[in-house]
Structure 1
Amino acid sequence: MKDGWLYIVASKRNGTLYLGVTSDLPTRIWQRRTGAGDGFSKKYGCTRLVWFEHFDNLHDAREREWQMKKWKRAWKIELIEKSNPQWRDLWDMINR
């Protein structure tokens, strides 16, 4: 089974959030940054990677995504600010 990544991209600090899952985080974030596709993140300008978590398999990442999609917005913001209080774009951490 493939590794999985759960991630949050934002339009800006405290802006619109998008929670997603992928097996290839650098490629998926590049797609978000360049506006590839016609989805939610493109429509709302969610291009800044502000949080991510690695899982040993994609299934576990998807299960966690389903849980977190039910979370209140404040809980997601708290999660981001715990590890990334400045809401820095974490692209450089994954694009090596």
Structure 2
Amino acid sequence: MGDRVEIDGGDVRDAARQADQGAEAVAAVPHHREATSLAAALPGSTSAASARRLSSVWSAAAEAWVADARAYAQNLQASADALAATDQRSGASLSRLTSRLGSTPR
């Protein structure tokens, strides 16, 4: 019972911002264009067909990752908000209790 865990809401908010920035950075890269350019450079080859397939797979994977990273950022932000609300409620409860007991919170 002596173990203690402290979570800094600011750190959680920073992590949310970083996840969102990562999502924006990946979303800004035209992944499909690179593979499409490669396919155009290799007309009629087996590699060109593979590059065209890669283009759609790469785009879908990047879009899925961006969506997941954005959801993760939103979840982190919601967690930070919940932490702040819990801290506020706990502080208010402690203040009420200590005022009833005639002492001051430490």
TM-score, with length taken from structure 1:
0.23
Structure with more of its chain in helix, by fraction: 2
Structure with more of its chain in strand, by fraction: 1
TM-score, with length taken from structure 2:
0.21
Q: Which structure has the larger Rg over C-alpha atoms? A: 2
